[in-house]
Structure 1
Amino acid sequence: MKRANTFDVIPQSPEDKELLRRLLDASAALWNEINYERRENYAGPDGDVWDISEYRGRYSGVLGASTVQQIERKNREAWKSFFSLKKKGEANGKPGFWGNSEDRRELRTYIRNTSYSVEWGEYSRLEILVGKHLKDEYGLGHRERLRLELRGDPNWKEYDKQGRLELFYDEQAQSFKAFQPVTISEDHSRVAQPLASEEAALDIGANNLVACTTTTGQQLLYDGRDLFERFRETTREIARLQSLLEDGRYSSHRIRRLYDRRTKRRDHAQDALARDLIERLYDEGVSTVYVGALTDVLE
């Protein structure tokens, strides 16, 4: 079975933080170059999106050859998905870039499953491969990897196989995070099951994002007023800026930046809410969740 762990990644020194940021920034630069070349090939009458330049010579010194390979592969997967959706008439745009010239690149990378290791304990840690040039510049040994602290309590500490690690900087949370796909056996899957079979009902609304009642008597309420007020403020600012545009123009870099900020803020709030709610329900022994009006569920 496929599952995933998510956790916070903490550099142990300012030098480690700088090294990590450079690694992620170089990864984003690589993605953008590959994606730009493929978009140009796609637009050309005789272009082949799969025929791209060799990037390992330019980037392996910073990223390591295996990370260059993973980013190339991830971009290829994105384009395959685009063509698959296009064939079904569902494509909503070509694969995009990681960031832009105004807001800088999005800090992100993908590490091959054999190029990182995770160790859980009192002092949990993540070790990742970096390129030789960065090793030399930051004083890492020939066989040494960048060691980073981990924080979190993932459900799947025991697994049969780890997948490609996604490592990124969360602008909203102002922290580095990791997403680790894992393959687990049925024996290990029981570890993450609640220890009881209680039930919970969720009522999803606007001002109150989620109201929750469980059969244990617990009641949880997530207030969304502040979040929606910030959403409305950003929406009003977008409308104001659109009213100032010249005739025939519908957007600008600043407007697109506000749209992107609004979307990321909403997504981050939703993710944080879901994570907190699931953790609380798990602790209550809840194994079944009903979504809908509470009165309909509990009658």
Structure 2
Amino acid sequence: MSVIVSAPWLKNRLEHAPDDTVVVDTRFQLTDEDAGRKAYLEGHIPQAVYLDLNKDLSEKPAKHGGSHPLPDMEMFAAKMGNIGIDHDTTVVIYDQHNDMFAARLWWLLDYAGHQDVHLLDGGLDAWMNNGYEVTTEVTNLDPKHFEPFIRNDAVADIDNVKEKLQSQTATLIDSRASERYLGQSEPLYRKAGHIPGAKNFFWKHVLNDKGKWKTDDELEYRFKSLSKDDEIIVSCGSGVSACPNVLALRLAGYRDVKLYPGSFSDWISYDDNKVETKEE
């Protein structure tokens, strides 16, 4: 079963196995942190619950660790249980289109050892374009027990990144748009550019010209310059838009793929760390 699923697949799943399925709405706007929850209350897929990037999928920022640090995983596991998820539950996540926030929750659940997790291709728009109903009814699900099995090999911290770059034993990817990677534009942080040594693979290029996820073969072609024998560390600005690239690499057959959760925002929180603005 593919990680990426269609609206008709989800519709069928909700009709035939609703008790074993949890749908999660992750819509969010970085420039308006209340917009996602408001959108959920105005209309969402029936039976969907809402999780917030800042409140549920991240920790409060500190001096170091980036602007969207990983949440406390015990608290995260408790929240998953509270919305009806255990390791026998099929989880389907969506946002407005194919945005980065659904992939962030996919990554967190995968990091916590849950395998049966899917993204709705095209998000809420795809659901509505198929003529399926939305509701304003807030969903309350019976709680379950979610036991996390943390995959420590799925993350790299700043020390790992420095060590791997110095020894040239891993490839670092920057998932942001090229103008931010090159330091030509930086709307969020006090420094512009990228971590020296990082290669640029804009995360939106895992989607086709219709905004749908590319096939596994197309994704394999997208990353053809990278060896499947190498360790790949994926970063972005704060560890959110890196997640679609992590998933895309996994779908393309890469296995040694890690997320640098702090990413560029963590890197520049240390004054001694240099940044680069040329293509690498």
- When Rg is computed on C-alpha atoms for both structures, the one with the higher figure is 1
| TM-score, length-scaled by structure 2 | 0.27
Structure (1/2) with the larger helix percentage: 1
Q: TM-score if structure 1 supplies the norm length?
A: 0.26
Name whichever structure is richer in strand by fraction.
1
